[in-house]
Amino acid sequence: MNSAVFAEEQRQAPQMGELAPYQDGPSLTEAVPTDDGIQLTWQDGQYTTLPLLWLRDHCACPACRHPQTRERLYLPLEEINETPAIALSDGHLYLTWQDGHESAFHSGWLYQRRPEADLPTSVPALKPWQDQFTPERIRHADFLTPEGEKAWLTAMLRDGLALMTEGPLVEEEVSRLAERIGPQRATNFGSRFDVRSKPNPNNAAYTAVGLALHIDLPNWRQPPDIQLLYCLQNEASGGESLFADGARVINALREQDPEALAILSDTPIDFRFQDETHDIAVRAPVIKLDDEGNLVEMRLNNWIRDTLHLPAPKMTAWYRAYRVLWQLFHSEAHQLEFTLRPGEMVAFDNRRVLHGRREFDPNSGARHLQGTYLDRDMLASRLRVLARNA
């Protein structure tokens, strides 16, 4: 094995410019050049081969990674054909390239990022609701602690729905809670909105009518990800909240009527919202799936569906598929219903979990919710930051 030219006093545990923990991985026991790069073996018997260009591209020295922003400075455009000098010290990898550049790699960081391993993450995978699903309930006081906030974020990213309870009855609390996580997502309804019956409404939510299950703002190219609704008053008769999990319903649709799923996921239609000051429209399918058939987003909102502009022979099939999906979402088997009490906040993934409400009587008492939106990326980001100190 070649000997690297690093001075012994420089051989401290390499710093990889990574804030998430990586220091607990096993030490390297061997680093051997091969035709494909460098084969690494760890003390637990795991091994991998990394190409030379990959190793050069991931050098974390201040010349290759900005020391403050941690952003990459090196540009991997030139082929590397000559094997660098290789050394192991205290189980870490040290390379000296032909141009004299020196790279140091922490064994734990390389172990985490070997191609055979999943990249480390603290963000839970989406989990469709099962029978008798009950949403996570986190007390307001607990949410203000790292562990409570982690529990709430985990439930939101996994289940797409979570409740907060025992909150103060003060205006703008929904904004304060949202901004612990990230900036509020503004729309044509503002960054924070009030849900209550009012004169001359420009949206069905601002009336007392029942609202069938829907997502908000399907007429946007990027509908809001996460919606927060904080209850300040709910003395009216009726108005129970309704929810249904798109991931669960799509699985049921795939089993019951795969042709309907294909039509609704392959056929773009038009969505449009218009009032005196806005006219926001987009063309997209009701269901978007990834390459493995998993749900990416729903755009089910019957009020904001625009003219069905399809070739006439396709219209009948589309309407039939739409009817099947609608009936599945509105069946008791897939609906969750509860009454939101003052001081409670419901949060849900607007592009996955459909929401609605029963009709209420505005003459029977006041009903006032405040709402806002967040980007899902900010929930995942916040959870990763909290996980660093776990």
Answer yes or no: is 122 within a domain.
no
Residues 160 and 101 both lie in one domain: no
Domain end marker among 62, 79, 113 = 113
Check whether residue 106 and residue 190 sit in a common domain: no
If asked whether residues 101 and 142 sit together in one domain, one would say no
Average pLDDT score over the chain = 93
* Domain shared by 202 and 323, yes or no: yes
Helix (H) or strand (E) holding 143: helix 140-143
In a domain, 151, yes or no: yes
Please name which of 201, 227, 197, 212 lies closest in space to residue 379, comparing C-alpha atoms.
227
390 residues of the chain, pLDDT tens digit each:
344 445 553 558 999 999 989 999 999 999 999 999 999 999 999 999 999 999 999 999 999 999 999 999 999 999 999 999 999 999 999 999 999 999 999 999 999 999 999 888 889 999 999 999 999 999 999 999 999 999 999 999 999 999 999 999 999 999 999 999 999 999 999 999 998 865 455 556 666 788 999 999 999 999 999 999 999 999 888 889 999 999 999 999 999 999 999 999 999 999 999 999 999 999 999 999 999 999 999 999 999 999 999 999 999 999 999 999 999 999 999 999 999 999 999 999 999 999 999 988 888 888 999 999 999 999 999 999 999 887
| Within-domain flag for 202 | yes
Question: Which pLDDT belongs to residue 218?
Answer: 97
Same domain, yes or no: 293 and 198: yes
Q: What is the spatial distance between Cα 310 and Cα 122, in angstroms, rounded to a whole number?
A: 43
Q: Does residue 151 share a domain with residue 41?
A: no
DSSP annotation of 201: -
The verdict on 344 and 230 lying in the same domain is yes
Is the residue at 51 inside a domain?
A: yes
Strands 360-361 and 211-214: unpaired
For 105, the domain range is 8-113
Instruction: Report d(CA 152, CA 332) in Å as an integer.
Output: 26
Domain count, the chain: 2
Q: Does one domain contain both 192 and 44?
A: no
pLDDT of 200 reads 56
* Res 4: pLDDT: 43
Residues 205 and 146 in one domain: yes
48, 80, 113: which is the final residue of a domain?
Answer: 113
State whether 246 and 381 are in the same domain.
yes
* Residue 124 domain-assigned (yes or no): no
Structure confidence at residue 329 (pLDDT): 98
In a domain, 123, yes or no: no
| Same domain (yes/no): 338, 230 | yes
Q: Is residue 2 part of a domain?
A: no
Long-range contacts of 183-190 (CB under 8 A, 24+ apart): 183/378, 184/372, 184/373, 184/374, 185/224, 185/225, 185/372, 185/373, 185/374, 185/375, 187/217, 187/220, 187/224, 187/373, 188/273, 188/277, 188/278, 188/280
Provide the CATH number for the domain around residue 84. 3.30.2020.30
Is 52 within a domain?
A: yes
**What global pTM score does this model have?**
0.89
pLDDT at 198: 52
| 175/233 same-domain check | yes
CATH of the domain at 237: 3.60.130.10
